[in-house]
Amino acid sequence: MQNLLDAIRQRINRVVPKRLHPYTAMFLSVQFLTFLAIGVVNTLSTTVFATILDAVKGLLHLADPYRVTFILGYCLSLVLSFFLNTYLTFRQKPTWRRFVKFPVSYIPNFIIQYGCVWLFTMLGMGRTPAYLIAAVIGIPVTFLTMKLFVYKK
């Protein structure tokens, strides 16, 4: 896999300015692909956790069950994402410090995605395409924030 990524990066580096080469190295890496795969797992786990919690919402006696079950599902998947990214993406040991910093690293992503969705819908774009484009824009931001803030060596 790394050989394929290196070949793609070499082709891209022929046409992009040299000052951008560190970014092509960062985003055309096994580490970034692992991060993306964990993002897919995280999205699926949020859905599964929220669905399970939604199924038992009657037992929880919640005033606003859909929001609460989504938030609880999101929090559970965030914990799962922390451990997967710690061990698989960044190959480090979990610490309480990283555990606290991890959700903080999502704040810039949230702000950017929220702003993009707001802007795109104000420009007349449908919600679903706006969500998808905002997510694509937010992914590299989250990766950089985690790499530089949470898992900085």
Query: How far is 125 from 123, CA to CA, in rounded Å?
Result: 6
79-117 as b/e: b if 16+ CB within 10 A: eebbebbbeebbeeeeeeebeebbeebbeebeeebeebb
- Of the candidates 74, 94, 114, which is a domain's last residue? 94
Same domain, 82 and 102: no
The token pair at 145 is 């924030």
pTM of the model: 0.79
Same domain, 89 and 127: no
Distance, C-alpha 141 to centroid of its chain: 9
Cβ–Cβ < 8 Å for 86, 105: no
Query: How far is 51 from 69, CA to CA, in rounded Å?
Result: 8
Same domain, 132 and 109: yes
pLDDT tops 90 at residue 43: no
Q: What is the pLDDT of residue 20?
A: 86
pLDDT tops 90 at residue 58: no
The confidence band for 103, taking pLDDT boundaries of 50, 70 and 90, is: very high
Structural domain range at position 65? 1-94
pLDDT tops 90 at residue 21: no
pLDDT tops 90 at residue 61: no
Q: What is the pLDDT of residue 38?
A: 94
Same domain, 1 and 31: yes
- Of the candidates 94, 114, 137, which is a domain's last residue? 94
35-58 as b/e: b if 16+ CB within 10 A: beebbeebeebbeebbeebbeeee
The token pair at 151 is 């898992």
Return the number of other C-beta atoms located less than 10 Å from residue 146's C-beta.
Answer: 24
User: How many domains are contained in the chain?
Assistant: 2
